[in-house]
Amino acid sequence: MSHKIEDLKACDRSQAGTRSLPQLKNTNPANGSLAELLPPLTDHEALVEANRCLFCFDAPCTHACPTHIDIPGFIKKIATDNILGSARTILEANLLGATCARVCPVQELCEGACVLGAEHKPIMIGRLQRYAMDHVYRRGIHIFQYAPSTGKRIAIIGSGPAGLSCAGELARLGHSVTVFEKRELTGGLSTYGIITLREPMEIALAEVEMVKRMGVEFRTGAELCSSLTLSELRMQSDAIFLGCGLGSTPQLRIPGEEHVVDGLAYIEQSKLDPSHLDVGQNVIVIGAGNTAIDCATIAKRLGARQVTIVYRRSDREMTAYEHEHEFAREEGIEFQFLTQPVRILAENGIVFGLACVQMALGESDSCGRRTSQPVPESEFIMPADQVVKAIGQEKPSLASLLGLATAPSGHIAVNGNFETNIPGLYAGGDAIRSSGACSTVMAVEDGKLAARAIHKQLTGLPVPEAL
Amino acid sequence: MADLHINFSGIRSPNPFWLASAPPTNSGAQVHKAFEAGWGGAVWKTIGAPVLNVSNRYGAWHYGEQKMVAINNVELISDRPIEINLREIRDVKRNWPDRAVIVSAMVESKPEAWHDVVRRIEDTGADGIELNYGCPHGMSERGMGSAVGQVPEYCEEITRWVKEAARIPVIVKLTPNITNIVSPARAAASAGADALSLINTLNSIMGVDLDTLEIMPSIAGQGGHGGYAGPAVKPIALNMLSALGTDPIVAASGIPISGMGGISTWKDAAEFLLLGASSLQVCTAVMHYGFRIIEDLCDGLSNWMDSKGFKTVAEITGKSLNRVSEFKDLDLSFRTVARIKPDKCIKCNLCYVACNDSAHQCIDLITGAGSVVQPYSYSVRSNGKEDAVSTRPQPRVREEDCVGCRLCYNICPVHECIEMVELPPYRASVTWDQLSQSQREVTEDWEAMNRYREQQKIHIH
């Protein structure tokens, strides 16, 4: 068996939190346009908004929230000036409340279900949640205490939303948890993949710190499948949770591919080192999901004169949320629908255009989205000096490496307890989710539910009502 | 168009709205400005004994985002020299002959002190005198204000002293800080008062500062009870007003009542008139928004009177007093049920939780398919606005179990969503009073009551 974790001992020196965090450069005025888009609510704004909440019973916002935060409860606590209690209410349901407050597509979730939405403006739930979260994070208030140790040891693979949530929930229950993260920084997608405009990296790292204070150990630079076998890890642990997310951006499989910039890397650099991000003057982003819009936004805000999103189907089939689409248009990003790239045009390694063909919509596919077909002899050239691809992510490679059963979509298959076909090996987050919608908050819920299933499996006890 | 003029015990004003004796009537300049804005009259801030005031004298109660639902104060009577007040009263009255200028007074409880102040007020040309028997703080500690109003005998005696000297109408202002408002009212009437006014402010402590543990507002670390007024006191004022209007002795005296206590809008004003007020006094709403509110007070009242066909204010006065009943005279057979209009309902479930936690457990949650579900019955994996909205059940009243308590109606946030529907009574009309006369044992003995309920098919679960 070659299922290994890379040099766990070597990783001890690089535990997140014991090292200094990278100096974030997006506070540089030259790159100020990437700063968090929405300002925090002032105390008075939060109070006014909180008082607007009707305090629904069995509220639809709570139903719509994948982690089922008691939203009227936390908002009422803001209204009564019990911000600490408000934060606790949020975190008890969702340990990544600060990230979710910023990245959740609230229009599709809580705010979309608000009873005031029909005739009035829905309550700004996301921003109120952020207000309560900022209150405790800014003051360094530690909400949770160590639970008495159960002696059970759990390994978590991946420190993204699913892994972090699972780790924190297990730690609250008294288990010994170690998180293995292959990257240098912890936080996964929240750290590397959410544009600063929506969530500054400090927020994601602060959440990791909170989970660390709950007693969870983090080992960075530790990748499964390198030097330690899965079976070794299984021997050291009573259970394992895989929150490894998805793989890299797939190939476009068109000539000139080597000149294409990877969208995820583009976002990553915009967070880690925006001043060295190479941004073209005329940028084309291929793909029409939320990542594509994020890439286009970065390009636009970091100086591109023209940014165009190219998508082979029409606006009705694009996977980006409607509010993201609207946001992109307000940013001045252009859309070129029914357009399929066929080759990158470059000379001496310098991109000067993208050859495309016109597409026509055909039959609906199994998901109900209409497929598109090339229109014969419709090839045309779009000038561009940078082409970025944001066309989704590969399925998790760990599935085949570990010999895990997969769903038809290629995602890791789990049962109702988030357990894979290997007993004691659990999985959650994007690695198991065939649809990418609301991935952060869904991953948090997966991690939470998997933690409860693991707890029950290991102790025979249900999760206590009040922790 | 309705005629808003009033003649209140001989005091005339072009509309029934007077500024109450309070900070807005502290000076000639203020009253002049108020009259320019259209106020019908002003009761000058109480003059009399010498005083000194403190800072942080006003406290407020805010509810949600509504500022100053109530105000409280420890401000004393006018702290301006009495000569200046009297001079300014004279000037204002000379400049505004058509407006009512009434002077509130409060002096030591000695006949000569009252005789003196009455004469000095009359010298100004003022239209009337209001005796401040209500101020609950500061002055009461010195034997004035509510210390008088709370003892009907004092109330009567001082009113007599004043009436011995006064040639202009004397209004006795009553304190609500008393068990039965009727007693001092009768006392004032029997002493010859020309009119009554009520309510003065209520004793109150506005709160405690949770940082410093001091009373709010803090006056050098201390605080205490102050006079409470504003929109929050209106129902208390209406009750006391109607208690006078329905008291046979006060009513028989025929003396008019100037109503006040939380009047902020023309609607409040109309209600005070309907329950027996002949003139109206306003303070807190002016302290909150300024003299300009008089425009809508008059305009709204006038429009409402036109829509109802009322020609004069006098016509309205006391018109709803015959609707004030004691419980024993209410019709026990009267029956309403709550009905929720599904097309208006936003499914906030506030009615559901109110009914189930605090009332009669007769609101159910109904699924789209028509079955009853419990709250929170969705799966833990269900999420998203589509799921939440499309599966959200509809609250519905089980009318056979509804006692028509009206709690859901009162808390529903949607205008005209819950209706209290009157249904034909199950039994013949009867009041508790009639029942206690015709079947006395039913009203005194639970077994008899149970037999009566069975016979009448009254089921209370």
Q: Return the CATH fold of A257-389.
A: FAD/NAD(P)-binding domain (3.50.50)
**What does the pLDDT average to over A388-403?**
88
**pLDDT given at position B275:** 98
Tokens representing A340 are: 């399929």
> Is A290 in a helix, a strand, or coil?
helix
Q: Are residues B318 and B397 in the same domain?
A: no
For the residues B138-150, what does the mean pLDDT come to?
81
State which of B323, B358, B380 marks the end of a domain.
Answer: B323
- Chosen for mutation from A56, A80, A100, A417 (greatest number of chain B CBs closer than 10 Å) is A56
Instruction: Verify that B65 and B195 share a domain, yes or no.
Output: yes
Same domain, B81 and B143: yes
- Name the amino acid, one letter, at B40: G
Domain ranges, ordered by start, for chain A: 8-26+144-247+394-459, 36-139, 257-389
One domain for residues B268 and B347? no
Given a contact cutoff of 8 angstroms between Cβ atoms, the answer to whether B47 and B86 are in contact is: yes
pLDDT value at B223 more than 70: yes
pLDDT of residue B134: 78
CB atoms near residue B342 (< 10 Å):
12
Task: Say whether B389 and A113 touch across the interface (CB within 8 A).
Answer: yes
* Number of structural domains in chain B: 2
Confidence (pLDDT) at A49: 97
| Residue A435: per-residue pLDDT | 63
Q: How many CA atoms lie within 13 A of B431 on its CB side?
A: 10
Percent of chain A's residues with pLDDT above 90 = 74
**CATH for B344:** 3.30.70.20
The reply to whether B179 and B245 lie within a common domain is yes
Q: Which residue has the tokens 């009243």?
A: B397
Strands (E), A314-385: 334-336, 339-347, 350-364, 370-374, 380-383
Could you tell me the two tokens for A352? 């000067």
Q: Is the pLDDT of residue B138 over 80?
A: no
Predicted confidence (pLDDT) at residue A233 exceeds the cutoff of 80: yes
Through-space distance between the first and last CA atoms of chain A, rounded to whole angstroms: 40
Cα distances (Å, whole numbers) of residue B386 to A60, A61, A69, A365, B349: 10, 11, 17, 22, 18
Q: What is the mean pLDDT of residues B334-341?
A: 97
Tell me what ipTM this predicted complex has. Answer: 0.90
> Whole domain around residue B395: which residue ranges?
337-423
- C-beta separation of B377 from B318 below 8 A: no
Q: Averaged over B420-433, what is the pLDDT?
A: 95
Question: 3-class SS at A340?
Answer: strand
Mean pLDDT of A88-115: 96
Strand A306-310 relative to strand A334-336: parallel, antiparallel, unpaired? parallel
Q: How confident is the model at residue A437 (pLDDT cuts 50, 70, 90)?
A: low
Enumerate the β-bridge partners of residue A427.
A242
pLDDT by residue (tens digit) across B92-104?
Answer: 999 999 999 999 9
pLDDT band for position B395 (cuts 50, 70, 90): very high
Give percent above pLDDT 70 in chain B: 100
- Tell whether the model's pLDDT for residue B423 goes beyond 90: yes
| In the predicted structure, residue A25 carries a pLDDT above the cut 70 | no
Residues B361 and B297 reside in one and the same domain: no
The pLDDT tens digits of the residues spanning B277-289 come to 999 999 999 999 9
What confidence tens digit (pLDDT) does each residue in B147-189 have? 888 999 999 999 999 999 999 999 999 999 999 999 999 999 9
C-alpha–C-alpha distance, residues B100 and A351, integer Å? 88
Test B392 with A59 for CB contact under 8 angstroms.
no
A8-26+144-247+394-459 is a CATH 3.90.850.10 domain:
no
In a domain, B362, yes or no: yes
Q: What is the pLDDT of residues B360-372, one digit of tens each?
A: 999 999 999 999 9
Domain boundary, last residue among B276, B292, B323: B323
Average pLDDT for A90-101: 97
DSSP A40: P
For chain A, the C-alpha Rg in angstroms (whole number) is 23
Chosen for mutation from A43, A54, A55, A57 (greatest number of chain B CBs closer than 10 Å) is: A57
Chain B interface with A: residues with Cβ < 8 Å:
64-65, 346-350, 352-353, 365, 375-376, 378, 380, 382-385, 387-389, 391-392, 413
A22-32: burial string, b at 16+ Cβ within 10 Å, e else: eebbbeeeebe
Per-residue pLDDT, A4: 41
| B233 found inside a domain | yes
- Co-location of B116 and B153 in the same domain: yes
Q: Is residue B456 domain-resident?
A: no
Chain A residue numbers touching B392 (CB-CB < 8 A): 60, 63
pLDDT in tens, A31-70: 448 889 999 999 999 999 999 999 999 999 999 999 999 9
Q: Using CB atoms within 10 Å of the CB of residue A60, give its burial: 0 to 12 exposed, 13 to 18 middle, 19+ buried.
A: buried
User: Which amino acids of B are annotated catalytic?
Assistant: 135
Q: Which helix (H) or strand (E) holds B105?
A: strand B100-106
- Residue B311 sits in the same domain as residue B385: no
Kindly list the residues from chain B whose CB atom is less than 8 angstroms away from the CB atom of residue A63: 378, 382-383, 387-388, 391-392
- Residue B65: which of A51, A58, A59 has the nearest Cβ? A51
Distance CA A302, CA A273 (A): 12
Among B284, B300, B323, which residue terminates a domain? B323
pLDDT in the model for residue B9 = 97
Contact A298, A338 (CB under 8 A): no
Q: State whether B389 and B304 are in the same domain.
A: no
Token duo for residue A404:
């895990």
Is B114 within a domain? yes
CB contact under 8 A, B347 and A115: yes
Contacts of A164 (CB under 8 A, 6+ apart): A95, A96, A179, A186, A187, A188, A207, A208, A211, A243, A444, A447
Domain CATH for B263: 3.20.20.70
* A8-26+144-247+394-459 and A36-139 share one fold: no
pLDDT at A8 over 70: no
Question: What pLDDT does A382 receive?
Answer: 97
* Count of CB atoms situated within 10 Å of the CB of A362: 11
With a threshold of 0.95, does the pTM exceed it? no
E strand or H helix at B244, and its extent? helix B234-245
Residue B407 placed within a domain:
yes
pLDDT attached to residue A148: 87
- B319 and B341 inside one domain: no
pLDDT tens digits for range B10-19: 999 999 999 9
> Would you list which residues of chain A are within 8 Å, Cβ to Cβ, of chain B?
47-48, 51, 54-61, 63-66, 68, 79, 107-109, 112-113, 115-116, 118, 437-438, 442, 445, 449
* Test mutation, A45, A58, A414, A441, chain B, max B CBs within 10 A: A58
Kindly determine whether residue B384 and residue A66, on different chains, have CB atoms separated by under 8 Å.
yes
How many Å lie between the alpha carbon of A334 and the closest alpha carbon of chain B? Answer: 29
Residues B212 and B90 in one domain: yes
pLDDT of residue A312: 92
Region class of B339: left (phi > 0), else alpha (psi between -120 and 50), else beta: beta
Q: Does B276 share its domain with B131?
A: yes
| B47 phi/psi in degrees, rounded to 5 | -105, 160
Residue B355 has pLDDT above 60, yes or no: yes
For residue A117, give the nearest of B377, B347, B415, B411 by alpha carbon.
B347
Do A370 and A317 contact (CB within 8 A), yes or no? Answer: yes
Q: Which CATH superfamily is domain A36-139 in?
A: Alpha-helical ferredoxin (1.10.1060.10)
Q: Are strands A153-157 and A176-181 parallel, antiparallel or unpaired?
A: parallel
B14-40: average pLDDT: 98
Does residue B460 have a cis bond before it (omega within 30 degrees)? no
Residue B144 has pLDDT above 90, yes or no: no
Q: What percent of chain A has pLDDT over 70?
A: 90
In whole angstroms, give the CA distance from residue B210 to residue B216: 10
Read off the pLDDT of residues B127-137 as tens digits, 9 standing for 90 and up. Answer: 999 999 877 77
Q: B270 — phi, psi (to 5°)?
A: -60, -40
